[in-house]
Amino acid sequence: MQKIYIAGVGQTPVRENWEKSLKELAGDAALLALEDANLGYPEGIFVGNMMSGSANHQLQLGALLADWLGMHHREGFGLESACSSGAAAFRAALMAIASGELSSALVVGVEKMTDSPLAEITSSLATAADADLEGDFGVSFVALNALIMQRYMYEYGWKTSDFAAFSINAHANAVFNPNARFRKAISLSDYEHTGMVCEPINLLDASPVSDGAAALYLTAAPPTKDRRISVAASSAATDTISLQNRTNSLRLSAAEKSARIAYQQAGITPREIGLFEYHDAFSIMAALSLEAAGFCDPGQAPRLANDGSIALNGRIPVATMGGLKARGHPVGATGLYQLVEVALQLRGEAGQTQVEAARWGMAQNIGGSGSNIITHILHQG
């Protein structure tokens, strides 16, 4: 694929946001990205969202935002792949530009989850599972992740407290991110004394239902030199949608495939990755992601979390602005928050959580319990 650049980024604070409609929230992030890029209107808009039809009685987000932003008559579509909808929109926009149909595009991810009762949102999230095999039987996503975590602990001998480090790291970084949902450090004791959601997943293993929007401005023309962040790799892969059909529920084989292809496209190995925005919707997904992306052997990720490797000055910094856990997880927007954060890091604009001398950054967005995984690598230059 031809070289495509990120010329602008925008994000709204992740929180309960009852003052804005879905359109206004997405529009805010889009306007920030347009302002940041300062290149005028792009030729199209791609919107990542999962559940606005049920949660906000609003679909048709491509035309809706094109209209709201004043991008008269320009094309726009919505992309959906559950919690990886944001990265799906990003990848669709990349392909649109690489095809020559568009020379620039705005990618917006939005999810507004806190307007609805939590039971409805839990039910909407379950539409990412197979309705015939999982969803209609009442299996929620926290339950699916609890099954995986239980099996992981059994197979590799880890205790629940060994997973605390993922969450402690995310919260430590979120303190410095003005857009994070929970800007509050937590301790091992906090983790050990919080409530249980679905054994063994406790409250501090789980990312929060949130409202938020993030946006990126993509262009085929190289921006000015200090903004020259390019997309070095884009790769997507699927796996069985239901957990029960998977040969090995402890391996994210779609993540392994998409990461492997992404490294090939970028011409690098995991060693060159300066930071990794992983999809820590639950601590167990953080662990499996690190393993699937080649940062450690299967079953070894809690060691990386506990020996400091994932800290800002460690071997592979993760969740540098709070991750899904503490920045928050507005599902359709998450993949674009990740990419905005990688871009800001590569631009050297990550503030107090700036990773030193990172030239390559990776973001990996997961839909379902590992069934749709999209990996992007960004490059400074």
Task: Kindly list the residues in this chain that would bind a second copy in the complex (CB under 8 A).
Answer: 1, 21-23, 50-54, 56-64, 66-67, 71-82, 88, 91-92, 94-101, 123-124, 126-132, 135-136, 234, 236-242, 245, 253-254, 257, 367-368, 371-372
| Residue closer to a second copy, measured from CB, 132 or 192 | 132
| Tokens 């705005």 belong to residue | 106
Whether residue 270 is preceded by a cis peptide bond, meaning omega within 30 degrees of 0, is no
| Residue closer to a second copy, measured from CB, 353 or 375 | 375
10 Å Cβ neighbour count for 381?
11
Whether residue 200 is preceded by a cis peptide bond, meaning omega within 30 degrees of 0, is yes
**CA Rg, the chain, in Å?**
19
Tell me, yes or no, if 83 is annotated catalytic. yes
Beta carbons of 255 and 370 less than 8 angstroms apart: yes
Q: Which of 279, 329, 376, 379 is catalytic?
A: 329
Token reading at 205: 């293993």
User: Considering the complex, what minimum distance in angstroms separates the CB of residue 47 from a second copy?
Assistant: 9
| Residue closer to a second copy, measured from CB, 20 or 347 | 20
Tell me, yes or no, if 198 is annotated catalytic. no
Classify 99 as helix, strand or coil.
Answer: coil
User: Considering the complex, what minimum distance in angstroms separates the CB of residue 91 from a second copy?
Assistant: 8
User: Considering the complex, what minimum distance in angstroms separates the CB of residue 348 from a second copy?
Assistant: 30
Beta carbons of 337 and 191 less than 8 angstroms apart: no
User: Considering the complex, what minimum distance in angstroms separates the CB of residue 68 from a second copy?
Assistant: 8
User: Which amino acid, one-letter code, is at 191?
Assistant: Y
Residues β-bridged to residue 372: 238, 367
| Residue closer to a second copy, measured from CB, 66 or 275 | 66
Q: Are strands 104-112 and 211-219 parallel, antiparallel or unpaired?
A: antiparallel
Give the catalytic positions in this structure: 83, 329
